[in-house]
Amino acid sequence: MKYLRLVILLVLGSSHLFLSCSKEDDCVETLWYEDADGDGLGNAGTSISACTQPDGYVSDSSDDDDSSGNSATIATYGDALADQIAAGDGNGIDNSFRISGLVINETTNTYFAVNGVHPINSGNYTAYYPKSVVEASLETDEIVNAWSFDASTLGRDVDMEALCFAENTSKLYIGDEYNFIYELDLSSGSVTREWNLAAIGISTNTDKGVEALTYLNGHFYAGIQDERRIYQLDLHLDATDPGDSDYQTVESLSSFAVNNSPSGLFAGQDGSLYMVAFGGGDVNQYIYNYTTNGTLSCTFALPSSVDIQQADGIYIDSNEEYAYIADSQGSLNGLYSVYRVPWNAADCQ
């Protein structure tokens, strides 16, 4: 009997060993690479083998700079914009705030966004009013202020698409696809000045006008979607008296063509222009850097983990740690309206 028990134990032990080995054999180990900066790209120099993906590791190994000191995470925003839609922005035509312009006030830690909602009925450009400019907290993603517009606000149809500040943050400058630029006094909520770009010969198809706007060294740069061109403009901001002859005068100083239709512009500290664009293929996955005379200097690839549907605005913070990218189609596809991504100008190649 003693020998029988021994045999049974040996058989059970062998079966357990066989089953354990079989389970281990089902595991196919994969090489995973550390992703310290959270951009979806891994460091080829730091890897481990595992059957399942470990936290902080990815299958990609193409990251040239995986240092986490510059920015560990990608942040997303858009809750405040959804709240503005719930409050009636766009008249229910879209269920999403189609952000089409973005600028940050770093002093108040808020972001400004404009709703570029488009009509679903061909030729109907009024049913989707009101359209709003929203200021929201970068900490809580809640609405701080909102300014709404319709055809009666300025005496004409509006299709506001681009935002920037100039010398200070008391006034917001808004590019409109009807080829106007507006000056919005944030304290009063009133449009205090307007510039009609028809005065310098700019005329485009409806919904194809001013799509991008930024300010650099006393001048504005406006991206015209229909023309694939960027204009350097003097709006004579020094003419502060409404009685001045140049109070609402616009002057074109120069212009240059770009490879894709501009959808967002930002003036960098180095005096160059960073652009996001409309286009097919992977155009949405890049930031394009141009000199002010029109030379394409380099391109910056957005992190692969950021699935931009349509880049429609860009802002780079003053410490050059982060770039903020507006995505006008993100919320329509269950994604986000604004992404904050790690920024390193040296990555622009």
Judge if 162 and 271 occupy the same domain. yes
What is the extent of the structural domain holding 188? 75-347
CA-wise closest residue to 235 among 223, 250, 224, 246: 250
Apex 13 CA angle, 7 and 16, nearest 5: 145
Q: For every one of its 349 residues, what pLDDT tens digit does the chain have, with 9 covering 90 and above?
A: 444 443 333 344 444 444 433 444 578 888 878 876 655 667 887 888 888 778 677 787 877 666 544 445 899 999 999 999 999 998 888 788 999 999 999 999 999 999 987 665 556 667 788 999 999 999 999 999 999 999 899 999 999 999 999 999 999 999 999 999 999 999 999 999 999 999 999 999 988 999 999 999 999 999 999 999 999 999 999 999 999 999 999 999 999 999 999 999 999 999 999 999 988 788 888 999 999 999 999 999 988 788 899 999 999 999 999 999 999 999 989 999 999 999 988 888 7
- List Cβ neighbours of 322 (8 Å cut-off, separation of 6 or more): 71, 316, 340, 341, 342, 343
Judge if 257 and 311 occupy the same domain. yes
**CB 284: neighbour CB atoms within 10 A?**
23
Judge if 37 and 167 occupy the same domain. no
Half-sphere exposure of 11 (CA within 13 A, CB side): 6
Judge if 114 and 33 occupy the same domain. no
Tell whether 208 is covered by a domain.
yes
Q: Which residue among 58, 87, 103 closes a domain?
A: 58
Judge if 200 and 79 occupy the same domain. yes
Residue located via tokens 């035509």: 93
Q: Are the beta carbons of 174 and 185 closer than 8 angstroms?
A: no
Joined tokens for residue 312:
């429609």
